[in-house]
Structure 1
Amino acid sequence: MLEKAEFKISGMTCAACSARIERVLNRTEGVDSANVNLVTEKAAVDFKGNDIDINEIFEKVKNLGYEPIAIETAEETQKRKKKELDKQKYKFIISLILSLPLIYTMVGHFSFLSFLPLPHFMVQPWFQFILATPVQFILGWQFYKGAYSSLRNKSANMDVLVALGTSAAYFYSIYLAIIHYGESHIPLYFETSAVLITLILLGKYFEAKAKGHASDAINKLLSLQVKEARVERNGEAVEVPVDQVEKGDILLVKSGEYIPLDGEIIEGNTSIDESMLTGESIPVDKEKDDEVIGATLNHGNFIKVKVTQTGDDLVLNQIIRIVEEAQGEKPNIQRLADKISGIFVPTVLIIALIVFIVWFSLITPLDFQSSLEVFIAVIVIACPCALGLATPTSIMAGSGRAAELGVLFKSSESLEQTQNVDTIVFDKTGTLTEGHPTVYKVIDNTDNQQFGTLVKSMEQQSEHPLSQAITEYYADTPSVPVEHYQTHAGNGISGEINGQKIQIGSISFIKPVLDNWDNQIEEEIEGLQKQGATVVLAAIDKKFAGMIALRDEPKETAKNLIHQLRDEYDIIMLSGDTQTTAESIAFELGIEHVIAGVKPDDKANQIGRLQDEGKNVMMVGDGINDAPALAKSNIGLAMGTGSDIAIEAGDIMIVGGDIQKVDIALDMSKKTLKNIKENLFFAFCYNAIGIPVAAFGLLAPWIAGTAMAFSSVSVVLNALRLQKVKYQKNLQK
């Protein structure tokens, strides 16, 4: 019988790490399947309990050089991640402090900077040795540890490259210091190893910081759960923890309170604000026998709710599970440099060894020092400094410039993957539209031109979002006192003004009381509804007084964005609204493909169907209901004006509500990936030319070290071009 174990794994630094753990566990006898997620740092293992136990699985992970951790609480995980992040930050700071004097001594050797004061003790080998050694073996120990684990498992990652390159420079410097003992101005390369480790530690810090947000979406969803419920027991209201509520219990929910659990109304009628789950801005009218969802807000009257779902069956918990599963399904990105290093590192070692043998036996027979210098020159010139910097410098420059433009890539993986997108799915409410109702059209059927005054006087008594929108529309219109004001939950409002009976509300509320209803009114309503509007009718003394159409208007910049994107991408609108309303907004924006009437838990399924068709999907949304779809999609882009949960579930966040920045996110990803490829091309061309030159003995090790440093500087300068990228907005109004 199969058992399932889930646990955290600490110490993973790249996709090669998670892949290596997966590979070893899947080859272990008794393990049926193992899945390791780098982003969430979580492993899920199915195993046969009769053949292996969890302690043996933990031991396997430990032997690979990583730390298995039992599933923690959200608070424990947060503390551990903060401790790891602080540790990485302090390692970088200490490494930087120790490296700065070494950089200064290197700069001081340049003739055009000879005016700089260079104390004699700073050029002494013992001084540079004292500074470089702790950087190499204490602060840089993680690279040796990672390289050992990688090589032991017959693979090579960036740790192998870093350990190889820095060790060559460090130990050759010691060699030079020994054979030239007592001499001054010896060309040493301690600064090469120290600076490289310092820069990579900085990159590791930024990676750890970005990865630390991976589980925030789940924590935010969990925070929505109501902790206590008011339950009717033995005729009395009793406050109990939610986990003690059972199916069939009766919940007592006052106006302004969150509904603790899923259920159905058995007494009362009200309006429920479901925007936190559905993303739709207009509250939903509810009456007896209607279903309500836990964690939504009772916006109207007191109601009694019979509990129908608890625990894992709650809609909110299902959304949490979908987000977790979708995050777990995300493919681990194998760094291009890591892939190539698997071939590059052993190839360089073999070449260097062959060169040493040839020189020691044929070119300079039995001259160990000359042969060793050529060997070291090959290793140094092949040192993967440029290769190691190619990707992180481009990503840092590209993501930094994007941040200045209001686009936040939450990880290097998202920056890399965005350029592969071919289909963009937009949520409607709050993403393509403003996210709140506004007055779209007013039809006044009165003769005394008092319609605005009467409507405002009535609506300003209510806190319903539609009422607030109407009141705002008539902000400059005077109001008059209202008598006998009454709210009819789910229908409308009524009252008296100057002896006139005023009724305002839905068609089903107003139509039965009118004496002058005709087909023209019906046709007008249908026409407005086809335009995506919600229609509110008004009656004065049972006579039709007029109507107000409200709708969630498209954002001013949305149409321009769609026109920019639709020639290159498949554009789809995904909405929980009705087909008529969604198609109306889509037509105005120029979107041809619409998926409407989608429930919150089905949005991720819609993304999955598109992916099954071979599409690489970006989801753009802002509501809690979008969180599963944002996590499921290849790239999730969250609007900064939306919910915190959507923002955390997404891979990219736009600061503010400017939807045109979606185009900036797509373009910056393309430019950054192009820059990375340029850097890698330069790094390998440099090695392709430099290694043969060094092998023929035409490069002294110190010249090879200088050339190696030049290659790194060139890569960094090329990456910095990304910080000069500019965008010109041309809004079509």
Structure 2
Amino acid sequence: MTEQLVELNVTGMHCNNCAISVHRMLEKKGLQNILVDFAGEEVKFSTADASAVPGIIKDIEGLGYHVIEDLSAHQEKFYQKVESKFIFCAIFTAPLLLHMVLPWHWLHHASVQLALCLPVFIVGCLHFGKSAITSIKSGVPNMDVLIFIGSTAAFIYSLVGTIQNLGGQYQFYETCATIITLVLLGNLFEKRSVTQTTSAVKDLVKFQQVEARRIVNGEIEVVNAKEIKSGDIVLVNTGDKIPVDGDILEGSASVDESMLTGESVPVEKQKYDSVIGGTILQSGNIRIMATKVGSNSVLAQIIDLMKRAQAAKPPIQKLGDKVAAVFVPAVILIALITFLLTYFVFNGGLQNSLMHAIAVLVISCPCAMGLATPTAVMVGLGRAAKNGVLIKGGDTIEAVANTKYVIFDKTGTLTTGKFALRDIKTYGDVPVESARGIIAAIEARSNHPIARSLVEQLKAQPQEKLILKTVSEEKGLGMRAEDVQGNHYFLGAAKDGGDSNYNLSLYKNQQLLAQIAIQDDIKPGAANLIASLKKMGITPVLLSGDKASRCNDVAQTLGITSIHAEKLPDEKLAIVDVYKQKGKTVMIGDGINDAPALTKADVGVSMNDASHIAIQSARVILLNTDLNSLLFFLQVSKHTLLTIKQNLFWAFAYNIVAIPVAALGFMSPMFGAFTMAFSDVVVIGNSLRLKIKRISPPAP
């Protein structure tokens, strides 16, 4: 049976523990390709049985979350909002706290305090209690279990004292209400902060939400871009967002592609050129034919890639996840031991024993560990995407740590890839017009950048036309052809014979016919890139199938000392493997011809435009041609990993210090709740610093 991809919008998940709960439940049901993004409120999975989906939705909602049709149209009810719950609780909690300073004796009355605390406790039971019970059912108890137990213990203790009229030492209603109110405040800040971490994806989604002018029978109708189908004709005017991917049928324009590449300079587009949905037409008017719509568009693929990347866990997160999974039971055990030791060993009495135990429960914070990695990854990947660098997963960020070697393909990476025909040298009595005709006929059948450049430049030069019967390409070698008279031709980077100053050799029936010299200029900024890498302690390596003389010239100009020239694709693989044995290796190439070598490296980087092939071929895609984007990728990865380590250190250190302090009675439950509520905010705030943090490589 065919696997069906199911995408659900799920609200109510507020941290990584929530995502783990849903993930485990779906795993138990045998589902495949599971992706749970708590920040993006999205759940994806594959199933061969479509009839099981309603039952799965029911099970997700049974965990306490809500499956909705459309996130953009979804509006939380007033009483469901964390903001509303906090304000409501704060109104009743304020007089409970103020009774200690205000001279209003009626506030000290137990029944008045019960009346003020009861509404807050009910909200706490509905908000934390429901979440706590469902998390226990799923086998992944979350932070709400600790809050619910702590606030309930304080409330019941106070209620018993009130019913039995045991006096003021049994009145801790303000502790119960304050715990709930402060944690709700922390949830509020956490919710708003997490929303900011996913802003990059949301910004890209906005580019999809545009109207289109579709031309039907000569008439223009305005429709939502989602309604455009492949083959539709669309009119785009100055200032419009291009609604879908397409090819220009009529007109010319300047297009701002900065939302994809980070490059602010507009790109000039002519008839037959391709345009990408979501980019902005700065000037001109064009008619395009839609080619890729919906989930097949470049923008949709990039959004999906980013969502999956943000959900991919780097290895460093595994420790945090393991600790978080056993954290809540461990804290409950510590709280119980604290109560027993204080009461029986240190004779602290029931009141002190209970307060110490409650303080332990409410000060501990497993969410900080759960949020430490994903929030940093989301911000880091988002900042990279806004600068034209697509990183496939948080695991890639850790994979480039301590990089020792960066291996460069030459053509189109360190050089422009735009080839200028410098000279054609013929042998024997072969006329140059004949050689041009053979070259043009053979290269017209290839999509290689060199072939396209040669064909374009030979069009304007005199040549003898040649009709070919068959043409085949030998990857990494060149082109073979046969004409209608049965003559056999080979055009490629031959390693023997001829002048070494020429890049390509043309053979007819195994006899050298001509040689072609082509010029491929070094990219601006290439020398600066190599110098910066050396400053960072990284060894640059040149790996190319081009002639040794040309590779040596480029390497000498740029300051590269490790050179591997005239290598076939299988030889490139072996060389990449050798460097991997010596240290972390990043390979950067064009994303198409170098796909095997890119896959072999620790991290493959595609130096390409926003094509579908590029999106699929490497773990990192540089959407603009500026070589500095590679340095930016290395630096943003370094700073993101540093932020993750800082977050995990804070999360662990906070709990290691705070729990014993609370257990020894040096911190009241109210102050413990206040501290816990803001521990998550500290972690998320540190992650958000990545948005504005100065990220620059060392000066070469």
The TM tier, using the shorter chain, reads 0.5 to 0.7
Query: Is the aligned partner of 1:228 residue 2:214?
Result: yes
Closer/same/farther in 2, CA of residues 686 and 425 from structure 1, 3 Å limit? same
- Per the alignment, residue 186 of structure 2 pairs with 199
Rounded to whole Å, the distance in 1 between the matches of 2:407 and 2:107 is: 63
What's the secondary structure of 1:383's corresponding residue?
A: helix
- Per the alignment, residue 377 of structure 1 pairs with 356
Q: Which runs of structure 2 are paired with 1:380-395 in the superposition (5 Å)?
A: 380-385=359-364, 388=367
- Per the alignment, residue 195 of structure 2 pairs with 208
Query: Is the aligned partner of 1:94 residue 2:56?
Result: no
Rounded to whole Å, the distance in 1 between the matches of 2:345 and 2:72 is: 61
Closer/same/farther in 2, CA of residues 675 and 332 from structure 1, 3 Å limit? same
- Per the alignment, residue 55 of structure 2 pairs with 56
Closer/same/farther in 2, CA of residues 48 and 348 from structure 1, 3 Å limit? same
AA matched with 2:356: A
Rounded to whole Å, the distance in 2 between the matches of 1:123 and 1:394 is: 49
- Per the alignment, residue 496 of structure 2 pairs with none
Query: Is the aligned partner of 1:349 residue 2:367?
Result: no
Rounded to whole Å, the distance in 2 between the matches of 1:124 and 1:588 is: 79
Closer/same/farther in 2, CA of residues 407 and 175 from structure 1, 3 Å limit? farther
Closer/same/farther in 2, CA of residues 204 and 315 from structure 1, 3 Å limit? closer
Q: Which runs of structure 2 are paired with 1:36-55 in the superposition (5 Å)?
A: 36-38=35-37, 39=40, 41-48=42-49, 52-55=51-54
Give the deviation of 1:421 after TM superposition. Answer: 3.4
AA matched with 1:10: T
- Per the alignment, residue 128 of structure 2 pairs with 143
What's the secondary structure of 2:73's corresponding residue?
A: helix
| Contact 1:140–1:197, Cα closer than 8 Å, also in 2 | no
Deviation per CA, 1:400-445: give whole Å up to 9, x if none.
Answer: 99999999999xx9889845534699999xx99999x9xx9xxxxx
Rounded to whole Å, the distance in 1 between the matches of 2:184 and 2:342 is: 31
Rounded to whole Å, the distance in 1 between the matches of 2:46 and 2:253 is: 45
Deviation per CA, 1:421-476: give whole Å up to 9, x if none.
Answer: 34699999xx99999x9xx9xxxxxxxxxxxxxxxxxxxxxxxxxxxxxxxxxxxx
AA matched with 2:359: V
Equivalent of residue 158 in structure 1, options 143, 149, 171: 143
AA matched with 1:195: L
Deviation per CA, 1:141-184: give whole Å up to 9, x if none.
Answer: 43332211110122212333443445455655666777434999
Rounded to whole Å, the distance in 2 between the matches of 1:278 and 1:15 is: 29
AA matched with 1:344: F
Give the deviation of 1:22 after TM superposition. Answer: 3.6
AA matched with 2:323: I
AA matched with 2:331: V
| Contact 1:416–1:673, Cα closer than 8 Å, also in 2 | no
What's the secondary structure of 2:129's corresponding residue?
A: helix
- Per the alignment, residue 537 of structure 1 pairs with none
Closer/same/farther in 2, CA of residues 56 and 175 from structure 1, 3 Å limit? same
Q: Which runs of structure 2 are paired with 1:122-141 in the superposition (5 Å)?
A: 124=107, 137-138=122-123, 141=126
Structure 1 unaligned regions, length at least 5: 110-117, 232-236, 441-489, 492-505, 514-521, 534-550, 575-579, 643-656
Closer/same/farther in 2, CA of residues 573 and 195 from structure 1, 3 Å limit? farther
Closer/same/farther in 2, CA of residues 688 and 300 from structure 1, 3 Å limit? closer
Closer/same/farther in 2, CA of residues 427 and 146 from structure 1, 3 Å limit? farther
Give the deviation of 1:18 after TM superposition. Answer: 3.3
Closer/same/farther in 2, CA of residues 418 and 349 from structure 1, 3 Å limit? same
What's the secondary structure of 1:42's corresponding residue?
A: strand
Give the deviation of 1:46 after TM superposition. Answer: 1.1
What's the secondary structure of 1:217's corresponding residue?
A: helix
Q: Which runs of structure 2 are paired with 1:157-556 in the superposition (5 Å)?
A: 157-168=142-153, 179-181=166-168, 188=175, 190-211=177-198, 214=201, 216-217=203-204, 220=207, 228-229=214-215, 293=274, 295=276, 317=297, 320-321=300-301, 324=304, 327-328=307-308, 331=311, 333=313, 339-353=322-336, 370-371=349-350, 373-385=352-364, 388=367, 418-419=397-398, 421-422=400-401, 507-508=457-458, 532-533=520-521, 553-554=524-525
Query: Is the aligned partner of 1:119 residue 2:99?
Result: no
Give the deviation of 1:198 after TM superposition. Answer: 1.1
- Per the alignment, residue 234 of structure 1 pairs with none
- Per the alignment, residue 66 of structure 2 pairs with 67
Give the deviation of 1:719 after TM superposition. Answer: 9.8
What's the secondary structure of 2:139's corresponding residue?
A: coil
AA matched with 1:380: A
Closer/same/farther in 2, CA of residues 133 and 278 from structure 1, 3 Å limit? closer
Give the deviation of 1:668 after TM superposition. Answer: 3.4
Query: Is the aligned partner of 1:562 residue 2:507?
Result: no
Rounded to whole Å, the distance in 1 between the matches of 2:295 and 2:667 is: 66
What's the secondary structure of 2:362's corresponding residue?
A: coil
- Per the alignment, residue 115 of structure 1 pairs with none
| Contact 2:415–2:523, Cα closer than 8 Å, also in 1 | yes
- Per the alignment, residue 79 of structure 1 pairs with 73
Equivalent of residue 683 in structure 1, options 645, 648, 654: 654
Rounded to whole Å, the distance in 2 between the matches of 1:252 and 1:628 is: 26
Rounded to whole Å, the distance in 2 between the matches of 1:556 and 1:176 is: 78
Closer/same/farther in 2, CA of residues 129 and 193 from structure 1, 3 Å limit? farther
AA matched with 1:228: R
Range 3-12 or range 294-303, more displaced: 294-303
Deviation per CA, 1:505-561: give whole Å up to 9, x if none.
Answer: x85476559xxxxxxxx999xxxx97744xxxxxxxxxxxxxxxxx96338975564
Rounded to whole Å, the distance in 1 between the matches of 2:283 and 2:236 is: 8
How many residues matched? 568
Rounded to whole Å, the distance in 2 between the matches of 1:182 and 1:34 is: 56
- Per the alignment, residue 34 of structure 2 pairs with 35
- Per the alignment, residue 547 of structure 1 pairs with none
What's the secondary structure of 2:19's corresponding residue?
A: helix
TM-score by length of 1: 0.54
Rounded to whole Å, the distance in 1 between the matches of 2:322 and 2:407 is: 34
Deviation per CA, 1:223-265: give whole Å up to 9, x if none.
Answer: 59x653578xxxxx67689989887x9x799999989876799
